[in-house]
Amino acid sequence: MTDNRDFLRTEPVGKLLLKLAIPTVTAQVINMLYNIVDRVYIGHIPEVGATALTGVGVCMPLIMIVTAFAALAGFGGAPRASIFMGKGDKDSAEKTMGNSFTALLIISVLLTCALLIWNRDFLMAFGASENTIEYGVSYMNIYALGTIFVQLTLGMNAFITAQGFATTGMLSVLIGAVANIILDPIFIFAMGMGVKGAALATVISQAMSCAWVIVFLSGKRTHLKLRLINMRLKYSIIMPSLALGLSTFVMQASESVISVCFNSSLLKYGGDLAVGAMTILTSVMQFAMLPLQGFGQGAQPIISYNYGAKDPERVKAAFKKLLKTSLIYSISLWILVMAFPRMFAAMFTTEEFLLDFTETALRVYLGCMFMFGIQMACQMTFNALGNAKASIVVAITRKFVLLLPLIYIMPMLFSGDKTMSVYMAEPVADFIAVSFTAVLFSFQFRKTVRKIETI
């Protein structure tokens, strides 16, 4: 096997970013299919498709929390493992991975119990109505049983990518996604299981991905090996990892809180139709965010490793390439959404009344999507450099300081269409947040580079 320390340090940055980013972006897009394919099939269930789609849509806050906890341990531990590898400290890197694995197991048990006991209460709080609650409960009762597979797949796959095995990381999610696409129509339509079938297909698919990840990290090809001896939790190992992963956790978990606020406000002003449209809007938002996270994950091993190896020029070069690539993508997708919103909405429903409503809502909700490239490039670089404080500040500012209050303030400021005013909270918050992030990053990044140069 080619030593990870060779190609992360010596290959041209542009070529290396392309080599790592293509598989990670592909993996993010494939991972996105888990939930989106479910929604596409559910939205086309005869007679009850629109109602079932809304019911499953209110499950998204819970699903976001599950994936956020995977990021807490995995996306916090993986950059630290890369930095340790850059320093030549393989032992600390493997201990970080082993501790993260144990943390994910503990989190899985706690989440599974909570979801099975309180999922109905959660869903009602997240905006379900009497018309849609049973669809949401049916989905979550089965999905909860697969929590451990979700945690280990997403969390530990980050350590595969962090070593530079981007293609292997892509295969981790490809296996599950292909299985999900095949199993969904069989369980939903052929076996007549409806939303329960969609959840069962997802659980089985995630279990297959989980098996692949664990086998790889325990095998001969991996640079960092998953060892039982490293799984005993140590405060000095796990706490810095969780602290670094906290920003990604806040960014993802806050989506659930934001969804509760959006759904409750939309239910008040626009009813089930507005909540159903929100399911489609968040799905399209994933088209924007997940590939951007993929670019960041592709750049992370390069930035983290060379930061640990004290090579500021490669760190700067990697960030510039990441920023440029992210901006090109976010601007291009924004143009497509603004020009063809109905095309995106039609992926999830055939109901004309929902299509007509969502067409306008998409243009409002994603009005500042062209700026996402800056936000994600800066935030992912904060993580790659191990700058937990700055990353947390950026995540909290966008979600809690700006977006959450604006969901309630915007309808008060506009006397016209209250429902569209609620959707408008997103682009207003995005514009302010990206501006703040860019300024903070410019100061913090220069400070980090100077620190490397003086060591």
112-160 pLDDT tens trace:
999 999 989 988 887 777 888 888 899 999 999 999 999 999 999 999 9
Averaged pLDDT score across all residues of the chain: 88
Distance (Å, whole) CA 404 – CA 337: 24
At residue 54, does pLDDT exceed 90? no
What is the model's pLDDT at position 3?
46
Q: What is the pTM of this model?
A: 0.79
Q: Over 70: is that where the pLDDT of 66 sits?
A: yes
Categorize the per-residue pLDDT at 442 as very low, low, confident or very high, splitting at 50, 70 and 90.
very high
**Which stretch of 24-33, 376-385, 395-404 has the lowest confidence by average pLDDT?**
24-33
- Whether 375 has a pLDDT exceeding 70, the answer reads yes
Alpha carbons 303 and 325: distance in angstroms, whole number: 15
CA dihedral 346, 352, 410, 286 (to 10 degrees): -10
Report residue 2's pLDDT band, with 50, 70 and 90 as the boundaries. very low
- In this predicted model, what pLDDT tens digit does every residue of 147-195 receive, in sequence order? 999 999 999 999 999 998 989 999 998 899 889 889 989 998 989 888 8
Q: In the block, which residue shows the tokens 């992912």?
A: 380
- pLDDT, tens digit, 9 for 90 and up, residues 213-265: 999 999 999 999 999 999 999 999 999 999 999 888 887 787 777 877 888 88
Q: Which pLDDT does position 326 carry in this prediction?
A: 94
CB-neighbour burial class of residue 363 (10 A; exposed 0-12, middle 13-18, buried 19+): middle
Average pLDDT, integer, range 387-403: 88
DSSP 397: I
